[in-house]
């Protein structure tokens, strides 16, 4: 017999009620467990994110402090004469940077016990009037604070303190000097804090960076001292982590101490009872700091939630209520039916209101002139008002992949289909707000095309997106007509300016050619303002550089001997003064420390009247070329050295045989032929001996250590001239040269190598003279800005066009016919002059012949007080 459900409901209400209660309890407990597990995962992820923020905040903050110390050290090293006023100006930006925990920043200089009085006198003269150096112990190098500026608002500056007094600070100073980079000390109590009560002292650090001066003649940067900044740990941590922690996490910072332990330097406390913990190591300069981060999971954003217990408890309550309701419904069906009927009536009334509101909304949307479209997360259209359908001309199409083809969506100019992934509604579905994107709708219903401006926004919780369409076809057409009119006007203007257009095309063509060159090309006007730079030059010039003066500091350009190249000495600037510069070599020091060697040429640019309008300069990298030349020269030197001994033996035996044959010439008529053959052998060995000697001189010119000292040019040139004129007077086949020597200023050079240069130049002037005419040579010099320019001018046969620079290359001979030589003489001269940091070039003599011009440093008096001079040279 079947039992009707309504009868079972009424006959056994207790069974149904118990069943509902059991099912409700099971569902509530299950939901509680699942949500609690999800909450734990969210809390762990939130804790990991918060820990990463703390590590990033500490890393960024310490980076700012280290950058500030390193930048100040670089600025101090580049200052010619450092004073207390200048140091205060250089440190003024540090106050604006707001460096919490920073106590002071100072300059420390090294000094031995013997140098203490000299250091005191020097820095008192620089503005530290009451400086008293306080050495910590004797018998070792000290590090004294000679300049200091407070950063924490106090008046304590610590002038005269010895940085080696603290083992932790001394270790950091030694590490910065050894590694040539910024260093951080172990944690310790600053000397200035030792006078505070114990409960007010903080474990602190010092940050220090080495100060280096300009490179010397060998390219090495001398060590001058240190820039040192004190940093209180607790103040630093509190400020650095205020934003990252937001009062939600506990942070404990520990760092190595001078005694080898790892004490807690600073701590940041938050509310709650921590139940999550993370640890991380942070590298700060040469040290590793340890961070411990903990938090109460209930307080972390996105992690703490009362939903699991609330849902579980609510489920249990709801289960109880539902069971009670079942019981009530089972026992009191009539009242339940009345309640249901009333609820149904309320629902109908609510539905009617909703329909009225929906109708009102549809009426508003249908009355709008702009099109409105709403889609769900799957791209299905929920709403398209009549204006939107009118603009699109095609019924609603579901599926985002079909929109472009179905509606006929193109770029505004109709040149190509509009990419689906760039459509405004697609971008809005991905959470992006899009404004006024223009596109063209062209389909069978809109064959002429309609230009729309579309804006789109994502709906809340990313349930879909809404777009607003505006028909701007008329405006677009007006714009197109205006554009056409402008193009027509532009065409007419181009026709009237054909000459200018042609010149511009030629300029563009020339620019393209210059950009394809590996050579760097720069042009400037007469004031040094950069007019054009090809691609290679733009890669080397910073974007905000407008003049040659702006470019030079970033290039760190110096002469081959290491002397910084002054602005007025650069080839491009010299060319603006009307000079023609060929083959000027320089060394560039890149940011990574790499050194590049370049050769530069420059020419003045003139107008029709000859007035200098500007200059053009070019340069190219010859680093590899010089390295290969050095290797080849070394190889040639080794080979030449090894050949000299056997060649001497061959020549000696040849002379013995010749002398023996000459002694028997009367008795042996055939000996004359043998003697002639041996003479040719001796002539060949002589030429080979000359080549070997030149090879050895060429190698020695590049490798032999320089002994630079003041040299009297008058005496040196006089010796060379005497030797050349004496040789000519002894040989009847030579005409005595006419040599004029003007008064010459003293220079700083290696006397033996400079003599070789001058002897080669005078010898060439004598050699390359037309037969039957004595050589006429003028040796002159002038000094300007510490540089002596020596000129050796002759009236000889001159140099063929285009070879004025090539003659300084190895084995190059401009006149190979009729004039003996190895082609190494001028190469030797160039190598010697370059090693002295000078330049050498050849030019046509206006009166016929050649002028060779070389530059050397002028001699200067030596400093009297060596210790004071060394200290003063540092800054």
Summarised one tens digit per residue, pLDDT across range 313-365 is: 666 666 666 666 666 665 555 455 666 667 677 767 766 676 666 566 666 66
Find the mean pLDDT for residues 455-483. 79
How far apart, in whole angstroms, are the C-alpha atoms of residue 410 and residue 416?
A: 6
Bridge partners of residue 184, in order along the sequence:
207
Grouping H, G, I as helix, E, B as strand and the rest as coil, residue 579 is: coil
Confidence of residue 631 (pLDDT cuts 50, 70, 90): low
Which of the two residues, 474 and 207, has the higher pLDDT score?
A: 207
**Phi and psi at residue 525, in whole multiples of 5°?**
-90, -175
% pLDDT > 90, the chain: 10
Q: Which tokens hold the place of 556?
A: 């760190």
How far apart, in whole angstroms, are the C-alpha atoms of residue 305 and residue 60?
A: 32
pLDDT at 3 over 50: no
Would you say 133 and 162 are in contact if contact means Cβ atoms under 8 Å apart?
Answer: yes
What is the pLDDT at residue 1? 46
Counting other chains too, the contacts that 280-284 makes at CB distance below 8 Å and 24 or more residues apart are: 280/51, 280/54, 280/55, 282/55, 282/58, 282/59, 282/62, 283/59, 284/58, 284/59, 284/62, 284/66, 284/184
What is the pLDDT at residue 111? 92
Q: Where are the domains of the chain?
A: 54-295, 368-480, 501-621, 705-875
Are β-strands 581-589 and 747-750 bridged in parallel, bridged antiparallel, or unpaired? Answer: unpaired
How far apart, in whole angstroms, are the C-alpha atoms of residue 811 and residue 826?
A: 9
**Phi and psi at residue 221, in whole multiples of 5°?**
-95, 115
Which of the two residues, 853 and 642, has the higher pLDDT score?
A: 853
How far apart, in whole angstroms, are the C-alpha atoms of residue 17 and residue 415?
A: 71
Helices (H), 78-126: 84-96, 116-125
Q: Which tokens hold the place of 113?
A: 């016990």
User: Which class does domain 705-875 fall in?
Assistant: alpha beta
pLDDT at 614 over 90: yes
Confidence of residue 792 (pLDDT cuts 50, 70, 90): very high
Which of the two residues, 847 and 29, has the higher pLDDT score?
A: 847
Confidence of residue 625 (pLDDT cuts 50, 70, 90): confident
Confidence of residue 862 (pLDDT cuts 50, 70, 90): very low
CATH node for 368-480: 3.30.450.20
What is the pLDDT at residue 854? 93
Q: CB neighbours of 564 closer than 8 A, spacing ≥ 6?
A: 214, 215, 557, 558
Q: Which tokens hold the place of 470?
A: 């505006």
How far apart, in whole angstroms, are the C-alpha atoms of residue 251 and residue 262?
A: 16
Q: What is the edge-to-edge ordering of all strands in the sheet holding 223-232? A: 142-150, 102-111, 223-232, 204-212, 183-184
Most confident of 446-460, 496-510, 722-736: 446-460
Would you say 839 and 787 are in contact if contact means Cβ atoms under 8 Å apart?
Answer: no
Angle formed at CA 410 by CA 409 and CA 415, multiple of 5 degrees:
160
Angle formed at CA 172 by CA 169 and CA 174, multiple of 5 degrees:
110
Confidence of residue 864 (pLDDT cuts 50, 70, 90): very low
Interval 509-556: pLDDT, tens: 777 777 677 788 999 998 889 888 888 888 777 667 788 888 888 778
Would you say 520 and 536 are in contact if contact means Cβ atoms under 8 Å apart?
Answer: yes
Interval 47-90: pLDDT, tens: 788 888 888 888 888 888 888 899 888 888 888 888 888 888 88
Confidence of residue 769 (pLDDT cuts 50, 70, 90): confident
How far apart, in whole angstroms, are the C-alpha atoms of residue 509 and residue 733?
A: 59
Same fold, 368-480 and 705-875: no
Mean pLDDT of the chain, nearest integer: 78
Handedness of CA 824, 825, 831, 832 (dihedral sign): positive
Find the mean pLDDT for residues 493-504. 67
Q: Which tokens hold the place of 495?
A: 């026709």
What is the pLDDT at residue 6? 52
Helix count (H) and strand count (E) of the chain?
23, 28
Taking alpha carbons only, the member of 788, 772, 770 closest to residue 780 is 788
The DSSP element (H or E) to which 811 belongs, if any, is: none
Would you say 345 and 32 are in contact if contact means Cβ atoms under 8 Å apart?
Answer: no
What is the pLDDT at residue 867? 46
DSSP classification of residue 155: S
Exposure pattern of 103-130 as b/e (b: 16+ CB <10 Å)? Answer: bbbbbbbbbeeebeebbbebbeebbbee
How far apart, in whole angstroms, are the C-alpha atoms of residue 511 and residue 338?
A: 92
Interval 258-314: pLDDT, tens: 677 888 878 878 777 887 888 988 888 888 888 888 887 777 765 555 555 655 566
Q: What is the 3-state secondary structure (H, E, C) of 165-231?
A: HCHHHHHHHHHHHHHCCCEECCEECCHHHCCCCHHHCCCEEEEEEEEECCCCCCCCCCEEEEEEEEE
Q: Which CATH number fits domain 501-621: 3.10.110.10, 3.40.50.300, 3.40.50.2020, 3.30.450.20?
A: 3.30.450.20
Interval 559-603: pLDDT, tens: 876 778 888 889 989 999 999 888 788 888 877 778 888 889 999
Taking alpha carbons only, the member of 52, 41, 62 closest to residue 249 is 52
How far apart, in whole angstroms, are the C-alpha atoms of residue 391 and residue 451?
A: 9
DSSP classification of residue 401: G
Q: CB neighbours of 827 closer than 8 A, spacing ≥ 6?
A: 698, 808, 809, 810, 811, 812
pLDDT at 452 over 90: no
Confidence of residue 636 (pLDDT cuts 50, 70, 90): low
CATH node for 54-295: 3.30.450.350
Confidence of residue 503 (pLDDT cuts 50, 70, 90): low
């Amino acid at each position: 017999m079947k039992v009707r459900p309504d009868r079972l409901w009424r006959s056994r209400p207790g069974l149904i009620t118990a069943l509902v209660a059991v099912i409700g309890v099971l569902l509530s407990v299950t939901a509680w467990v699942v949500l609690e597990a999800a909450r734990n995962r969210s809390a762990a992820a939130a804790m990991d994110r918060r820990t990463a923020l703390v590590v990033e905040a500490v890393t960024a903050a310490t980076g700012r402090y280290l950058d500030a110390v390193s930048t100040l050290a670089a600025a101090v090293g580049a200052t010619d004469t450092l004073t207390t006023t200048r140091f205060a100006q250089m440190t003024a930006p540090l106050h604006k940077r707001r460096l919490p925990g920073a106590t002071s920043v100072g300059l420390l200089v090294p000094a031995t016990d013997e140098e203490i009085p000299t250091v005191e006198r020097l820095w008192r003269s620089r503005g530290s009037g009451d400086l008293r150096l306080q050495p910590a112990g004797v018998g070792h190098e000290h590090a004294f604070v000679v300049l200091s500026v407070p950063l924490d608002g106090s008046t304590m500056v610590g002038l005269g303190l010895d940085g080696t007094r603290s083992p932790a600070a001394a270790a950091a100073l030694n590490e910065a000097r050894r590694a040539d980079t910024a260093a951080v000390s172990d944690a310790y109590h600053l000397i200035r804090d030792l006078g505070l009560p114990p409960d007010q002292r903080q474990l602190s650090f010092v940050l220090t960076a080495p100060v280096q001066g300009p490179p010397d003649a060998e390219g090495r940067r001398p060590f001058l001292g240190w820039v040192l900044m004190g940093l209180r740990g607790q103040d630093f941590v509190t400020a650095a982590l205020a934003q990252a922690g937001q009062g939600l996490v506990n942070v404990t910072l520990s760092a190595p101490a001078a005694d080898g332990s790892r004490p807690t330097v600073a701590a940041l406390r938050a509310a709650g009872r921590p139940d999550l913990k993370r640890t991380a190591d942070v590298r700060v300069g040469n040290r590793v700091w340890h961070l411990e981060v903990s938090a109460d999971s209930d307080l972390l954003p996105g992690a703490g939630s009362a939903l699991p217990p609330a849902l579980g408890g609510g489920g249990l309550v709801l289960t109880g209520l539902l069971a009670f309701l079942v019981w009530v419904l089972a026992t009191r069906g009539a009242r339940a039916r009345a309640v249901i009927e009333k609820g149904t009536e309320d629902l109908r009334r609510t539905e009617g209101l909703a329909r009225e509101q929906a109708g009102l909304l549809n009426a508003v949307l249908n009355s709008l002139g702009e099109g409105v479209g709403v889609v769900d997360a799957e791209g299905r259209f929920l709403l398209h008002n009549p204006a939107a359908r009118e603009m699109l001309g095609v019924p609603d199409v579901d599926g985002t992949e079909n929109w472009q083809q179905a509606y006929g969506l193109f770029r505004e100019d109709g040149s190509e289909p509009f990419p689906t992934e760039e459509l405004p509604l697609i971008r809005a579905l991905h959470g992006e707000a899009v404004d006024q994107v223009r596109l063209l709708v062209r389909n069978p219903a809109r064959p002429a095309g309609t230009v729309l401006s579309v804006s789109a926004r994502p709906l809340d919780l990313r349930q879909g997106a809404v777009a607003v369409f505006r028909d701007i076809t008329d405006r677009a057409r007006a714009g197109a007509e205006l554009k056409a009119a402008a193009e027509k006007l532009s065409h007419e203007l181009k026709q009237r300016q054909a000459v200018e257009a042609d010149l511009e095309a030629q300029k563009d063509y020339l620019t393209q050619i210059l950009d394809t060159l590996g050579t760097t090309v720069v042009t400037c006007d007469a004031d040094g303002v950069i007019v054009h730079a090809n691609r290679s030059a733009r890669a080397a010039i910073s974007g905000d550089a407008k003049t040659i003066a702006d470019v030079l500091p970033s290039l760190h350009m110096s002469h081959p001997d290491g002397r910084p190249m002054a602005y007025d000495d650069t080839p491009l600037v010299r060319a603006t003064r009307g000079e023609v510069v060929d083959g000027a070599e320089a060394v560039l020091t890149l940011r990574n420390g790499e050194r590049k060697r370049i050769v530069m040429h420059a020419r003045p640019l003139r107008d029709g009247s000859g007035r200098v309008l500007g200059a053009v300069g070019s340069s190219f990298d010859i680093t590899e070329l010089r390295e290969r030349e050095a290797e080849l020269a070394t190889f040639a030197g080794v080979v030449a050295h090894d050949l000299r001994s056997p060649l001497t033996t061959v020549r000696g035996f040849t002379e013995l045989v010749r002398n023996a044959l000459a002694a028997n010439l009367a008795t042996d008529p055939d000996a004359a032929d043998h003697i002639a053959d041996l003479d040719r052998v001796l002539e060949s060995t002589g030429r080979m001996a000359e080549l070997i000697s030149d090879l050895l001189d060429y190698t020695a010119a590049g490798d032999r250590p320089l002994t630079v000292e003041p040299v009297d040019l008058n005496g040196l040139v006089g010796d060379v001239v005497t030797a050349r004129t004496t040789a000519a007077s002894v040989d009847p086949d030579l005409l005595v040269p006419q040599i004029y020597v003007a008064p010459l200023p003293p220079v700083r050079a290696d006397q033996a190598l400079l003599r070789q240069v001058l002897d080669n130049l005078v010898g060439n002037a004598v050699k390359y003279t037309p037969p039957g005419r004595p050589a006429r040579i003028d040796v002159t010099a002038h000094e300007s800005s510490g540089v002596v320019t020596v000129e050796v001018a002759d009236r000889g046969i001159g140099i063929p066009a285009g070879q004025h620079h090539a003659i300084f290359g190895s084995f190059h001979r401009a006149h190979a016919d009729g004039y003996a030589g190895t082609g190494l003489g001028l190469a030797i001269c160039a190598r010697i002059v370059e090693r002295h940091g000078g330049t050498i070039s050849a030019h046509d003599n206006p009166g016929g012949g050649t002028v060779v011009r070389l530059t050397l440093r002028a001699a200067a008096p030596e400093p009297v007080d060596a210790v004071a001079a060394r200290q003063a040279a540092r800054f």
